[in-house]
Chains A and B, each alone.
Chain A
Amino acid sequence: MAKNHVTTTINGEPVEFLCETQQTLLDVLRDELQLTGSKEGCASGDCGACSVMVDGRLVCSCLVMGVEAEGSDIETIEGMAEGDQLHPLQQKFLENAALQCGICTPGFLIAAKSLLEKNPDPTETEVRYWLAGNLCRCTGYDKIIRSVLEVAADAKRA
């Protein structure tokens, strides 16, 4: 079966790849491009560990086909820090011990960043519902939610 040629932008860089028709965007990121920061926890859109941004929209990359990414602008966890400068959410997660095993962390960071871009001053309830598509089994969410609220508060003060 001939592979499909797809042209995208990933984390600001032009990226071309070949993929099989049945490969998801997550498969492509992980297996073809070695961007393994996006995780597969369910392959059914229920856990959010594969969260990425496609053209400014938060999506589960396990629910997007690789060929659908043609022409799109994709942001993954690998592009979140700028050089050695961590994103404020990344820094806050570290300071607040908002991760234990860390497998869900990339998905939460991508989802939280997209929330703050849309809604820079969310309530706790808004954060909880926005992040309800991301499963974490270690933390009970407490420190994750606090971290997102603190980053929003820090940005407001700045």
Chain B
Amino acid sequence: MSGNANGYKWIGTRTIRPDGVDKVTGRAAFGADFSLPGMLVGKILRSPHAHARILSIKTNKAEAFPGVKAVVTSADFPEIPASEAIKGSSPPNYRHLSQNLMAREKVFYDGHAVAAVAATSTAVADEALSLIEVEYEILPHVTDVLEAMKPDAPILHDDLFTGGVDPKPEKPSNVAKRVEFAIGDIDAGFAEADVIVERDYTTEGIHQGYIETHAVVANMGEDGQATIWCSSQGHFMVRQYTAGLLNMNIGDIKVTPAEIGGGFGGKTTVYLEPAALLLSRKSGHSIKMVMTRDEVFRGTGPTSGSAMTIKIGAKKDGKIVAAEADLKFFAGAFPGAPVHLGCMCGFTPYDIENVMAVGYDVVTNRPKAISYRAPGAPIAAFAIESAIDELAGKLGIEPLALREINAARKGTRTAYGPTLGVVGFEETLEAAKNHPHYSEPLGPNQGRGIASGYWFNVGGESSASVSINEDGSVTVTSGAPDVGGSRASLCIMAAEVLGVDIGQVRAVIGDTNATGFNRHTGGSRVTFALGMVVIQATEDCVEQLSTAAAKIWDIDLEAVVWEGGYARPAGDNAGKFEPLSLSDLAAKTPMTGGPISSKKSSNVQGAGPAFGTHICDVEVDRETGQVKILRYTAIQDAGRAIHPGYVEGQMQGGVAQGIGWALNEEYVYGEDGRLQNSGFLDYRMPVASDLPMIDTVIVEVPNPTHPYGVRGVGEIPIIPPMAAVANAIEDAVGLRLSSLPMSPPKVLAALQNGA
């Protein structure tokens, strides 16, 4: 399996991932699979109320129960004053994070943690939870974003004043922040327009739905040295956040990453680790905590739901002259909705002179929102890509053609500031137009929808090392968890630079003591950013190998070339010496200056923004309102697909998540503010029989910053599907659905009302 039309030996091939065999044989150790002798079971007590003041917590009965070894509450967590909420230059807000992990004066949502116990078994721990007496004063609650913004809404935080407005408000509110991104003159733009569409849209809160629940084993030594084994998208993030929350030195915590069973952004923060360490300190034992599915739904971050208004104006020829978005996202109990990202990404597929995007970050009595794949962008894209489709209908221009007329390209100025470099949006539109799917005939009640999406892609702090082992095998150690095949990509890039067989290279994820700092896995950054440092470290190894060969041959380094896994004499010396393989040189390192290895750390810049365009066919059942996905094609600019199999997999998986978001998934709250569907039976994610095959087209417009052209692929595929489905439904039955999910009851009601 080598040799490749693109001129590379390994880049673009479908190698077997180095961690694969362990994952098909059940040997791979995920978060809950790790155990220590003598460990206790930790469990969390959660609030049954959406909003309540905690009057008292009595733990004495629980503590006295046989088998219970420790109980902790917020009293055991250091209180973080507002003045110390931000440590360093970036999020999180530690004060909010601390309050989210263990409620202090108030509980802010059904599922909010209020206490934790450690006991000798799960049964004892569960019994102990029922013995903790919490006295609540129930407060009025609000779970809807528009309700939360009303002047008479129940206020969650007395100290929350809307940021981003001048002057600073005198009264607290649930609006944490207003953001605005604008270019041109929006009023002048609309004055120029021949056709204007304007519509309101809503989306519901939905969960990332990773199959692995959160799990941790934690041990606090008597000397204050802590060890954590857990599954997360960033073990350096776990270390940093845990240290910040418990006022510990970062160097006193070691975090060993487990295999991660899905994250999609949901595992970019901590939930259990600090409480587990406190229980360990109090009990003198190591602690294992594993969430139930109910806890994952009620206690961990879904993504925001929203209320949005989109207005777009165009000339008769299809040129868009003005675009306005008003995006209100709920953040859950603490600020942090990704509304700014929605504002930034939404209109970026289009070259528009006058843009105004305003966003509001609104707190509500729901679990605190956390990233979900391209945070913010899919929500905005549902509304904006639906509006583009509606505009196309009004103009009498094919939706794909309207996108071509307005497509962003190199030199297009974005509403958030930067001007785009080399991008591949037009190439994705071209590929869509030429795909047989685009012109396949449709039957009655069937329709086809097109939608596009944009994501920045991300670089960031990255550290890796490459070691040439004594036998010529190669170890690539990096510090960003592999959520879906990045070890395979890193192996491919290292093998390409070295010119050796892929079987000689193995990539591992090191613990927090094994590499320098790494930003967490997220934003579609790992193959790009870790790839950059791995390539640099591997190139450094090649230099050292060449130096060793030069020493052996007693010639200048400049007279040695590295080619196809061999050091070869070049220039005047060409042919004078037998080439030396990587293995030959590895065996001789004791004589040539010592071990060969290289470490690189960098804050990688130059991520390549990218676009995707999707084609979706649906059939609407007029009797039940059920929407069936008949055919789906996802087209995306990957820059360069290092391992096409895992690129396709990211695209297919993102589409499936998007289809779930479009058709079924939603957090359902009762009047009492309690979550009513905290299990997989009632929170309906797509299963195999819900979906067709998902066709993919990988477009490759290389990112000029990256040696192989990598952009990043994981985020984009979840951005277009909701609008693609909505646009297909409109094409099928002539109804513009503007509220997610487009579940059978809603579609049926729309069919019956004709609107």
Q: Is B579 an interface residue (CB 8 A)?
A: no
In the assembled complex, the Cα of A143 lies from the Cα of B292 at a distance in Å of: 29
- Contact partner, A102, options B23, B290, B655, Cβ 8 Å: B23
Given known A-B contacts A77-B25, A93-B24, A39 and B687 have beta carbons under 8 A apart? no
Q: Is B315 an interface residue (CB 8 A)?
A: no
Residues of A within 8 A of B24 (CB): 86, 90, 93-94, 99, 102, 105-106, 109
Most chain A CB inside 10 Å of its own CB: which residue of B24, B30, B657: B24
A133 nearest in chain B by CB position: B687
In contact, B23 and A20 (Cβ under 8 angstroms): no
Q: Is A61 an interface residue (CB 8 A)?
A: no
Instruction: Mark out the residues of chain B between 16 and 57 whose CB falls within 8 Å of any chain A CB in the assembled complex.
Output: 16-17, 19-21, 23-30, 32-33, 35
Q: What are 21 residue pairs bridging A and B, where the CB atoms are less than 8 Å apart in the complex?
A: A35-B26, A36-B32, A37-B25, A41-B213, A42-B679, A42-B680, A46-B679, A80-B26, A97-B646, A100-B649, A103-B259, A104-B211, A106-B24, A106-B26, A109-B24, A128-B689, A131-B688, A132-B689, A136-B688, A141-B688, A143-B645
Given known A-B contacts A95-B16, A140-B691, A102 and B259 have beta carbons under 8 A apart? yes
In contact, B688 and A100 (Cβ under 8 angstroms): no
Residues of A within 8 A of B685 (CB): 135, 137
In the assembled complex, the Cα of A94 lies from the Cα of B1 at a distance in Å of: 14
Q: Which residues of B contact A (CB under 8 A)?
A: 14, 16-17, 19-21, 23-30, 32-33, 35, 123, 208-213, 259-264, 290, 292-293, 483-485, 643, 645-646, 648-650, 652-657, 679-681, 685-691, 693-694
Residues of A within 8 A of B484 (CB): 100-101, 138
Nearest 5 CB-CB pairings of A with B: A37-B26, A103-B261, A97-B645, A140-B656, A102-B23
Q: Is A78 an interface residue (CB 8 A)?
A: yes
Given known A-B contacts A135-B687, A140-B656, A142-B694, A97 and B25 have beta carbons under 8 A apart? no
In contact, A90 and B679 (Cβ under 8 angstroms): no
Residues of A within 8 A of B209 (CB): 137
Given known A-B contacts A97-B485, A138-B484, A141-B656, A103 and B679 have beta carbons under 8 A apart? no
In the assembled complex, the Cα of A18 lies from the Cα of B290 at a distance in Å of: 23
Residues of A within 8 A of B14 (CB): 95, 97
Size of interface on A: residues with Cβ below 8 Å to B:
59
Given known A-B contacts A36-B33, A99-B20, A100-B653, A90 and B25 have beta carbons under 8 A apart? yes
In contact, A39 and B680 (Cβ under 8 angstroms): no
Residues of A within 8 A of B688 (CB): 127-129, 131-132, 134, 136, 141, 144-145
A45 nearest in chain B by CB position: B681
In the assembled complex, the Cα of A47 lies from the Cα of B650 at a distance in Å of: 21
In the assembled complex, the Cα of A54 lies from the Cα of B214 at a distance in Å of: 28
Q: Is A22 an interface residue (CB 8 A)?
A: yes
In contact, A101 and B261 (Cβ under 8 angstroms): yes
In the assembled complex, the Cα of A97 lies from the Cα of B14 at a distance in Å of: 8
Residues of A within 8 A of B657 (CB): 137, 140
Given known A-B contacts A39-B211, A94-B17, A100 and B293 have beta carbons under 8 A apart? no
Residues of B within 8 A of A41 (CB): 211-213, 293, 680
In contact, B652 and A137 (Cβ under 8 angstroms): no
In the assembled complex, the Cα of A108 lies from the Cα of B641 at a distance in Å of: 27
In the assembled complex, the Cα of A77 lies from the Cα of B24 at a distance in Å of: 8
Most chain B CB inside 10 Å of its own CB: which residue of A95, A109, A134: A95
- Contact partner, B123, options A20, A78, A93, A105, Cβ 8 Å: A20
Residues of B within 8 A of A86 (CB): 21, 24-25
In contact, A38 and B656 (Cβ under 8 angstroms): no
Instruction: Mark out the residues of chain A between 60 and 113 whose CB falls within 8 Å of any chain B CB in the assembled complex.
Output: 76-78, 80-81, 86, 90, 93-97, 99-106, 109
Most chain B CB inside 10 Å of its own CB: which residue of A80, A102, A133, A140: A140
Residues of A within 8 A of B646 (CB): 97, 100
Could you tell me the distance in whole angstroms from the C-beta of A145 to the nearest C-beta in chain B?
A: 6
Total inter-chain residue pairs, C-beta < 8 Å: 183
Residues of A within 8 A of B686 (CB): 140
In contact, A102 and B16 (Cβ under 8 angstroms): no
Q: Is A28 an interface residue (CB 8 A)?
A: no
In the assembled complex, the Cα of A114 lies from the Cα of B35 at a distance in Å of: 31
In the assembled complex, the Cα of A140 lies from the Cα of B687 at a distance in Å of: 8
- Contact partner, A78, options B25, B261, B290, Cβ 8 Å: B25
Could you tell me the distance in whole angstroms from the C-beta of A25 to the nearest C-beta in chain B?
A: 15
In contact, A78 and B26 (Cβ under 8 angstroms): yes
Residues of B within 8 A of A134 (CB): 687-688
In contact, B212 and A103 (Cβ under 8 angstroms): yes
In contact, B693 and A101 (Cβ under 8 angstroms): no
In contact, A40 and B213 (Cβ under 8 angstroms): yes
Most chain B CB inside 10 Å of its own CB: which residue of A100, A102, A106: A102
Could you tell me the distance in whole angstroms from the C-beta of A18 to the nearest C-beta in chain B?
A: 13
In contact, B33 and A143 (Cβ under 8 angstroms): no
In contact, B211 and A49 (Cβ under 8 angstroms): yes
In the assembled complex, the Cα of A34 lies from the Cα of B34 at a distance in Å of: 10
Could you tell me the distance in whole angstroms from the C-beta of B483 to the nearest C-beta in chain A?
A: 6
- Contact partner, A44, options B261, B290, B681, Cβ 8 Å: B681
In the assembled complex, the Cα of A101 lies from the Cα of B209 at a distance in Å of: 13
Q: Is A43 an interface residue (CB 8 A)?
A: yes
Could you tell me the distance in whole angstroms from the C-beta of B665 to the nearest C-beta in chain A?
A: 11
Residues of A within 8 A of B687 (CB): 131-135, 141
Residues of A within 8 A of B260 (CB): 101
Residues of A within 8 A of B25 (CB): 37, 77-78, 80-81, 86, 90
Could you tell me the distance in whole angstroms from the C-beta of B261 to the nearest C-beta in chain A?
A: 3
Given known A-B contacts A96-B645, A137-B653, A38 and B681 have beta carbons under 8 A apart? no
In the assembled complex, the Cα of A106 lies from the Cα of B28 at a distance in Å of: 10
Could you tell me the distance in whole angstroms from the C-beta of B687 to the nearest C-beta in chain A?
A: 4
Residues of B within 8 A of A138 (CB): 262, 484, 649, 653
Residues of A within 8 A of B123 (CB): 20, 22
Q: Is A139 an interface residue (CB 8 A)?
A: yes
B660 nearest in chain A by CB position: A137
In contact, A43 and B211 (Cβ under 8 angstroms): no
Residues of A within 8 A of B689 (CB): 125, 128-129, 131-132
A37 nearest in chain B by CB position: B26
Residues of A within 8 A of B652 (CB): 139-143
A91 nearest in chain B by CB position: B24
In contact, B694 and A140 (Cβ under 8 angstroms): yes
In the assembled complex, the Cα of A20 lies from the Cα of B67 at a distance in Å of: 16
Could you tell me the distance in whole angstroms from the C-beta of B469 to the nearest C-beta in chain A?
A: 22
Could you tell me the distance in whole angstroms from the C-beta of B128 to the nearest C-beta in chain A?
A: 16
B24 nearest in chain A by CB position: A90
Residues of A within 8 A of B19 (CB): 102
Could you tell me the distance in whole angstroms from the C-beta of A63 to the nearest C-beta in chain B?
A: 13
Given known A-B contacts A102-B261, A134-B688, A139 and B23 have beta carbons under 8 A apart? no
Could you tell me the distance in whole angstroms from the C-beta of A3 to the nearest C-beta in chain B?
A: 12
Residues of A within 8 A of B29 (CB): 36
Residues of B within 8 A of A81 (CB): 25
